[in-house]
Each structure stands twice: as C-alpha cells, then as structure tokens.
Amino acid sequence: MNRAQLYFVAALLFALLVAVFVLQNTEPVGVNFLFWQFTHVSKVLVILVSAAVGALMVILLGAWWQFKKYIYVRQLKSEIRELRAALQKKMALEKSAAPGGKEPEQNRQ
C-alpha cells in the first residue's frame, strides 16, 4: 500500500469516527463564539461545521506549504543554472589560457 492509499484509509476511518460521534450527540446546544451567540443549534451541525472548517484549514495550509516549496525549488534551479554557466565560462577561460590551447590536467567528475 502506498502513502496516498494510507492517507485515504486514515481519512475514511476519521470520517467514520466523526459520523459515529455525530449520531451519538444529536441534542440541541448553545454556542458562543467571540461576539456571536447561537441557541438551540444541533450538536450535529456544530460538529460537522467544526470538522469542515478544520479540514479546510488543513487544505489551505497544505497548499501554502506546497507553494512555498515550489518557489524554493524554482530558486534552486535558477541558482544551478547560474552556477553551471559560471563553471562553463571558467572552464573555457582555463582552456584558452593553457599553453597550446590544451585543457589542463585535472580530475573531472
């Protein structure tokens, strides 16, 4: 089983646990949040909305992390291109400066 399948199975198990918890807690409750106050709200609704908001936050944070990683990889690729160009330029200068135009002896990898 690969990592994506494990995450999918874990998500299904979590959803099942949330569903069981919701079915066992159906009575109305009062909710106070910052300056808002809601009375006689189904506990099921509170639980589902809380789970949905949590899932949305995880998705947004994951997308932000992926975006930052993408930008970092782009910067590294740009740096690699610059370093390769500088190396080729240096090698060309060394080759032209060597007596007889021969390439200097060195270990290359």
Among 32-41, 64-73, 89-98, 99-108, the least confident range? 99-108
Q: Which residues contact 107 (CB under 8 A, 6 or more apart)?
A: none
What is the DSSP track for 62-104? Answer: HHHHHHHHHHHHHHHHHHHHHHHHHHHHHHHHHHHHSGGGPPP
1 — pLDDT class (breaks 50, 70, 90)? confident
pTM over 0.95: no
27 — pLDDT class (breaks 50, 70, 90)? confident
